[in-house]
Amino acid sequence: MEGLDGLVVTHLPNIRYLTGFTGSAAVVLVRRNASILISDFRYAAQAPAEVGSAAVVEIDQRSVWDRLGKLLSSGEVERLGIESTALSVRDAERISALTSARIIPTTELVERQRVVKSPEEVQAIRAAAELAQEALAQVLPRVRAGQTELEIGAELEAVLRRKGSEWHPFPTIVASGPRSALPHARTSSRAVGTGDLLLIDFGAQVDGYCSDLTRTMVVGARADERQRRMHEVVQMAQRRAIEHLRAGMTGREGDSLAREVIVQRGLDGAFGHSLGHGLGLEVHEAPRLAPNSDAVLPAHAVVTVEPGVYFPGWGGIRLEDDVYLAPGSAERLSDGRTDLLELV
């Protein structure tokens, strides 16, 4: 453990990864010979059932932090790691007060393990993508000009839940007309106009694992020439990236596969975000496909591939699929149905 005698894990996705615990309140103390999960009375039955042999479960009726202090009082831990990217200053101070051990801030020790996915994790992401696709396919035939973004988003989220999504990995983005030029728009009360671009960025969650998809369409009319041309550029960029993306590339090299297509058409300034991000128990995790990422993409990672172009006052187009970096190839986990949809 990088010279540590113990590590306090507080980030819930990391706790789920290490132990299987899905509750909302727990601390895990990882030591060289054992892991101990501490939670409260609400999870007295749930925690042992979910954790099994992955960790010793201790339930404290009064204070999780007091129980952690008792475990640390043995003096076995002299160098104690904490998750510096997930822990609040208040909780870091609280842990420091519980022990005489030297507190060592760590950066993404567990997250680095999570980058490489097991076959079961990949299958869960694939199932989440399939569920999301089925939900969108059910909703789109009912989308009409005059509906608000909120109405469309509510219908999609309801269908996602009815089909079995545990929750929404992130707030669903439904952005229409000029608002589709906002890459992370908040779904609004704007009514979709005839001929508007409609961008929907959404996902599902299965066994804790997330999918993340984006589709862009035209509502109430046939696409005009500019809409078709911009969609074609984004689709070509995404196809090139997925066809040539490989484990062993850097994040910068992966990003450039799509970016070069957009730049060659004089649209460099229209693609302002990175090409993609890792996907798993969190919707945004390592690795990154970005112009400033020199980290190597490992085999068995899952990433999004989501090029887009955005023009203030006009609109934007983004296409996003989930991709598994198998050894020697890139495999779509989502359906890749990115042809321009015209909802007429």
Residue with tokens 């870091």: 92
Q: Are residues 107 and 125 in the same domain?
A: no
Calculate the average pLDDT of the chain: 96
The residues facing 205 across adjacent strands are 210
Q: Please state whether beta strands 285-289 and 276-278 pair in parallel, antiparallel, or not at all (unpaired).
A: antiparallel
Q: Are residues 87 and 177 in the same domain?
A: no
Structure-token pair, residue 65: 């932090």
Residue with tokens 């640390």: 72
The end-to-end CA distance of the chain, in Å, is 58
In the predicted model, is pLDDT for residue 2 greater than 80? no
Distance CA(324)–CA(211), nearest Å, equals 12
Distances (CA, A) of 231 to 119, 330, 341: 34, 23, 10
In the predicted model, is pLDDT for residue 39 greater than 70? yes
Q: Calculate mean pLDDT across residues 133-152.
A: 98
Model confidence pLDDT, tens digit, residues 178-204: 999 999 999 999 999 999 999 999 999
Q: Are residues 46 and 91 in the same domain?
A: yes
Q: Are residues 212 and 251 in the same domain?
A: yes
Q: Are residues 155 and 90 in the same domain?
A: no
Q: Are residues 329 and 190 in the same domain?
A: yes
The dihedral sign for the CA sequence 47, 49, 126, 343:
negative
Q: Are residues 167 and 187 in the same domain?
A: yes
CATH label of the domain that carries residue 335 = 3.90.230.10
Structure-token pair, residue 190: 């704007």
Q: Are residues 203 and 317 in the same domain?
A: yes
Distance CA(16)–CA(145), nearest Å, equals 42
In the predicted model, is pLDDT for residue 75 greater than 80? no
Q: Side chain identity at 122, as an amino acid letter?
A: V
Q: Are residues 158 and 302 in the same domain?
A: yes
Helix (H) / strand (E) containing 89 = helix 89-98
In the predicted model, is pLDDT for residue 49 greater than 80? yes
Q: Are residues 100 and 197 in the same domain?
A: no
Q: Calculate mean pLDDT across residues 130-145.
A: 98
Last residue of a domain, one of 114, 132, 150: 114
Domain count, the chain: 2
Query: Does 44 reside within a domain?
Result: yes
Under 8 Å between Cβ of 139 and 174? no
Gyration radius from the chain CA atoms: 23
Q: Side chain identity at 79, as an amino acid letter?
A: R
Helix (H) / strand (E) containing 152 = helix 149-162
pLDDT at 32: 86
In the predicted model, is pLDDT for residue 48 greater than 70? yes
> What is the torsion angle, in degrees rounded to the nearest 10, for the CA atoms of residue 322, residue 325, residue 329 and residue 330?
10
Query: Does 1 reside within a domain?
Result: no
Distance CA(173)–CA(283), nearest Å, equals 14
Distances (CA, A) of 69 to 23, 77, 196: 21, 11, 58
Residues 6+ apart with CB under 8 A from 304: 212, 276, 277, 279, 320, 321, 322, 323
Under 8 Å between Cβ of 36 and 27? no
pLDDT at 114: 98
3-state secondary structure of 105: strand
pLDDT at 3: 85
Residue 99: domain span:
6-114
Q: Phi and psi dihedrals of 332, rounded to 5? A: -65, 135
In the predicted model, is pLDDT for residue 55 greater than 80? yes
Q: Are residues 66 and 149 in the same domain?
A: no
Q: Are residues 51 and 102 in the same domain?
A: yes
Last residue of a domain, one of 83, 114, 145: 114
DSSP 269: G
Distance CA(335)–CA(303), nearest Å, equals 15
Last residue of a domain, one of 76, 99, 114: 114
Assign 3-state DSSP to the chain and report helix, strand, coil percentages, each to 5.
35, 25, 40
For residue 74, name the pLDDT band (cuts at 50, 70, 90): confident
Tell me whether residue 313 is exposed, middle or buried, using C-beta atoms within 10 angstroms of its C-beta: 0 to 12, 13 to 18, 19 or more. exposed
Model confidence pLDDT, tens digit, residues 214-237: 999 999 999 999 999 999 999 999
CATH label of the domain that carries residue 29 = 3.40.350.10
In the predicted model, is pLDDT for residue 1 greater than 90? no
